[in-house]
Structure 1
Amino acid sequence: MSGTPRWVHPRFWLPTLVALLAAAAAWTWVARENPYVLPSLSSVGQQFLDQPELYLTNAWTTLQEALLGLLTGGVAAALLAVLVCESTIFRRGLTPLAVILNVTPVVAIAPALVVAFGFGMLPKVIVTGLITFFPVLMNTVTGLRSVDRHVLQVFRTVDASRLDVLLRLRFPSALPYLFSALRVVFPLSLVGAIVAEFSAAGAQAGLGTLISVASSNSQLDRVFAAIACLAAMGSLMLLVVTTVERRALSWHDSQHR
């Protein structure tokens, strides 16, 4: 029926269910044949039942680092994208620096940031911001410059100001590109936070720290329980971005295909 929600239909949820069951079966077989490579799913689940507060507390720490870094890197990238789009001087001067920053291994920078700023949240936020900065910058620049030239000519014909062109034409045009970047960088921000936690050997909280300590003690079930938390967090973040995108871009062709 036309009024039935899409998620009710088996074609919506059945492929995902089959894929998850197949992955669980493969995991169970590997864990049984190679217990020193993969822990059993039951032992991973038992970790959550035995110490739920341990994973919730560390997950919250990592999530804060990821979101703050994403906010910092995303805002900086969006502002710089506007400058690059509006000014040829800024485009020629700042784009090469952004490329250099992108190709610089963040893993190599992270220990120096820990030395400079200590084991608190700041170096982790900086690392996450650096990782998420470039995708947002390039997609936003592409979106701002992808306006229809005929429509742009109409704006110029009516003597629209640069601010009007930016807010009423360029920004709506950039939204699909921006959300495309956000679908990538939201889960990627978790990677940045974990990389920073790995580099901060003295850190006391975070899933990265939990994974590092558990690995050194050969606690595979704890390692994979923390990884499962990260996977769940990344999936939830992606779901939030996708939901907001559908509502914000309900007028765009990409949402009606």
Structure 2
Amino acid sequence: MHKQTQSHSDVQENGVEDHNAKVGETDAPLDQKLNQTNPDDKDADIPPVGDASTVLHGSYGTVFAALHEGPQRTKLVAIKFETTNNSTHIRDEALILRCLSGSTHFAKFYRYSKYQGFKFLTMEMLGPCMLDIVNRVRPYRFTLQSLLKFGIQGVEALEALHNAGYVHYDIKPGNFVIGNTKETSGIFYLIDFGLCKKIDFKTDKIRNRNGIVGLRGTLRYASLNAHHKLELGPCDDLMSLLYVLIEFYTGKLPWIDMKDIV
């Protein structure tokens, strides 16, 4: 079977909205809200202390691993950086993670702030992505048991995100990871909310302020609505997850040779 590769995502900007504040407002009230550390975590008084090493470079910033020396213990955290320009991706991600605080399938939010010309988001350090896991051993596929375990948790993650009022827009193997500890190694987490959009529960439609709808996300896992350049909904996230499950079980998708055009 073919070794699976990850396609690139569309990087078109379109901010998401918090339940109580719109992205695009002045930074001050949102930053003040997000600068409040997670009250459920006793070690969440960031910034961390210690050496930092690069984990990955992405479309919306660079992620570093660092040691945080808390009052009770030292732990590994992930810090996502971007420059303090007009981009709101990291702040939007912080809003979503804070909104989903306490949900099983999302990284713990610790703190969002600014420092010396950078915005940073500090969150729980997670483990490798599903793409790395499936590519460890030939034939680069999951057993039915492993697939069902991932599928159930993937649906649970999307249910929590949709109930919070967001559509992910970029469901793919690289956006699911496992936990980074012995206790969480069997838990799957959903990450990367740079393309998320908010659902208007009054109309059950996506809030689209600019009126422009284009193909967003990763072409290989895009739903039919995405190909027709329609606004997406929760069902489209589920359709993309179905494509991921098919690829993990059969080893490839029928359209595997197609290239991203976004």
Q: TM class by shorter-chain length? A: under 0.3
- Kindly name which structure, 1 or 2, has the bigger radius of gyration based on alpha carbons: 1
Using structure 1 for the length normalisation, give the TM-score: 0.24
Higher helix share: 1
